[in-house]
């Protein structure tokens, strides 16, 4: 559950907003292009077989003798992840960096004789291997004594935000998780102002109650599934804003932290592909939860599954058949496999058609469509059709497209395929229309 009930929401006194006028920020479109990230949980819970610690565990249990952040980052990359969010502090209050504002941290652990800094190791490894870095700092803190006093805790949390934002280089995403915080009032505006002072490009992930502050929204479940109809602009307390959805789901069934003898709960490749198609394939972001074990390493089973997942994606989406029909086509910018170019219908058009004509029949079982979002999300209704012996056959009928839409249908062989956009809120702009054969 992630609700901040009783959060005092300042309603922006804005005039009437029009859905189709809302556009993403450059930081948001850049973030949407990353598509896959990981969220890493590691801390005292790793040593106590718990998902939620109560803040009383002695930091002496924390001693990851083989900690290797480079291994975590390499495993995430093999799965296709482009960013990593590190849980710097979970609900138990234990800090993975040496904070000046508490002793409940790595400083009080035997690991590296209290001189270690997990955040430093992870942020360095991300930069070395080319992943963007983000942090999760739980507002709910079951250890910190000042938590009982709202104003005192605001000062504490805000000081920790400043520490994180000023010490570890770029923070791309800042996770505000609402779990456990029912009834507590936080000064989020000040926290975010502090964050943005040091990190003007950081995007705020926020769940339901925090939506007014969010640049990225929680999709609403931990199953890794966005709705088939997925709009980037959502209304929060009367304020329309671009807030793309992020789908967070753990690699191991229901477990964010590592637990002993739990290899069986590593999700199957088939399950992960379904999750991918229900998240990235529906225009949302996928964030897989990874959990290093008590040695400080991702277990072999998890590393192997992440690689299998990445390999499967590279195999499924490695050969775009539509690119073969790009040369000389009026829709070449949508067919060329280059997401930096797009085809646009005339400004007044509210429907459009993109045709793919091959010299010889091709066999495919899925289409991948991407909308050019800088001017807003427009497509509302579309069909994917193939010309077969007795005319056009509809292979798929969809609603929204957004960043990316992957539609899987019965394997079909045809020389002509078309994307028919039947309704759009503004001129349809298509970055990519691609075809793949996933069953070869
Ligand atoms: C939830 C937390 O309560 C879980 O422990 C985990 O951190 C997940 C990602 O968010 O709200």
Domain CATH code at residue 349: 2.60.120.260
The CATH code of the domain that includes 214 is 3.20.20.80
Q: What percent of the chain has pLDDT over 90?
A: 89
Does residue 400 sit within a domain?
Answer: yes
Ligand 1 pocket, 179 CB below 6 A? yes
Same domain (yes/no): 307, 374: no
In a shared domain, residues 295 and 428: no
Tens-place pLDDT, residues 11-40: 444 566 788 889 999 999 999 999 999 999
Please state the domain count of the chain. 2
Instruction: Tell me which residue has its CA closest to atom 2 in ligand 1.
Output: 179
Same domain, 276 and 326: no
pTM of the model: 0.95
The answer to the question of residue 14 being in a domain is: no
Beta carbon of 407 within 6 Å of any ligand 1 atom: no
Structural domain of 430: 321-436
Sign of CA dihedral 42, 43, 49, 55: negative
**Closest approach atom of ligand 1 to CA 256:** 6
CB 2 less than 6 A from any atom of ligand 1: yes
Q: Is residue 10 part of a domain?
A: no
Is any ligand 1 atom within 6 A of the Cβ of residue 51? yes
State both tokens at 344. 């646009």
Of 249, 205, 250, 245, nearest in space to 228 by CA:
245
Dist. CA 379–CA 373, nearest whole Å: 10
pLDDT of residue 16: 67
208 lines ligand 1 (CB under 6 A): no
Q: Name 232's Cβ contacts closer than 8 Å, sequence gap at least 6.
A: 24, 242, 243, 244, 245, 283, 373, 377, 402, 403
Residue 73 included in any domain: yes
Q: Could you say which of 283, 299, 316 is where a domain stops?
A: 316
Residue 211, pLDDT above cutoff 90? no
- The dihedral through the CA atoms of 218, 222, 224, 228 has a sign that is negative
The confidence score (pLDDT) of residue 1 equals 37
Does residue 89's CB lie within 6 angstroms of at least one atom of ligand 1? no
- What ligand 1 atom has the least distance to the C-alpha of 39? 9
* Final residue before a domain boundary, out of 271, 295, 316: 316
Asked which of 316, 346, 362 is the last residue of a domain, the reply is 316
The verdict on 325 and 306 lying in the same domain is no
| Range 116-123 average pLDDT | 98
Is there a domain that residue 69 lies in?
Answer: yes
Quickly state the pLDDT bin for 357 (edges 50, 70, 90): very high
Segment (H or E) for 133: strand 132-137
Give tens-digit pLDDT for 172-182: 999 998 888 88
Phi first, then psi: give them for residue 124, nearest 5 degrees.
-65, -45
User: Percentage of residues in the chain with pLDDT exceeding 70?
Assistant: 96
**Integer Cα distance of 32 and 404 in angstroms:** 9
pLDDT of res. 440: 67
Residue 132 placed within a domain: yes
pLDDT of 408 > 60? The answer is: yes
What is the residue with the minimal CA distance to atom 3 of ligand 1?
179
CA atoms within 13 A on the CB side of 314: 11
């Amino acid at each position: 559950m992630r609700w901040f009930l009783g959060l005092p929401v300042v309603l922006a006194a804005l005039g009437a907003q029009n859905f189709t006028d809302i556009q993403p920020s450059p930081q948001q479109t850049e973030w949407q292009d990353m598509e896959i990230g990981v969220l890493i949980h590691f801390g005292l819970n790793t040593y106590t077989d718990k998902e939620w610690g109560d803040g009383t565990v002695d930091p002496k249990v924390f001693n990851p003798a083989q900690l290797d952040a480079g291994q975590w980052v390499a495993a995430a990359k093999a799965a296709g992840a482009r960013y990593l969010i590190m849980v710097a502090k979970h609900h138990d209050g234990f800090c993975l960096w040496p904070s000046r504002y508490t002793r409940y941290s790595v400083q009080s652990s035997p690991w590296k004789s209290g001189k270690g800094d997990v955040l430093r190791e992870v942020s360095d490894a991300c930069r070395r291997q080319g992943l963007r870095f983000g942090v999760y700092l739980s507002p709910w803190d079951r250890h910190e004594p000042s938590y009982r006093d709202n104003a005192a805790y605001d000062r504490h949390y805000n000081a920790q935000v400043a520490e994180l934002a000023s010490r570890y280089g770029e923070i791309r995403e800042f996770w505000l998780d609402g779990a456990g915080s029912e009834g507590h009032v936080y000064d989020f505006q000040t926290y975010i102002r502090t964050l943005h002072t040091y990190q003007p490009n950081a995007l705020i992930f926020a769940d339901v109650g925090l939506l007014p502050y969010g640049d990225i929204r929680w999709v609403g479940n931990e199953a890794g599934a966005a709705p088939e109809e997925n709009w980037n602009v959502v209304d929060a307390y009367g304020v329309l804003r671009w807030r793309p959805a992020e789908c967070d789901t753990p690699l191991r069934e229901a477990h964010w932290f590592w637990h002993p003898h739990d290899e069986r709960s590593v999700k199957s490749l088939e399950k992960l592909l379904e999750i991918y198609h229900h998240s990235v394939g529906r225009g949302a972001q996928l964030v897989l939860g990874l959990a290093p074990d008590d040695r400080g390493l991702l277990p072999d089973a998890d590393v192997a599954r992440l690689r299998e997942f990445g390999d499967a994606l590279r195999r499924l989406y490695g050969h775009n058949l539509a690119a073969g029909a790009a040369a000389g086509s009026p829709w070449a910018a949508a067919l060329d496999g280059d997401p930096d170019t797009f085809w646009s219908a005339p400004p007044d058009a509210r429907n459009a058609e993109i045709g793919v004509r091959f010299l010889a029949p091709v066999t495919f079982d899925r289409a991948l469509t991407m909308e050019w979002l800088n001017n807003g999300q427009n497509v509302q209704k579309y069909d994917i059709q193939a010309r077969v012996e007795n005319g056009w056959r509809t292979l798929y009928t969809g609603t929204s497209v957004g960043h990316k839409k992957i539609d899987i249908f019965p394997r079909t062989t045809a020389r002509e395929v078309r994307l028919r956009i039947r309704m759009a809120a503004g001129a349809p702009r298509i970055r990519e229309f691609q075809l793949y054969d996933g069953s070869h």
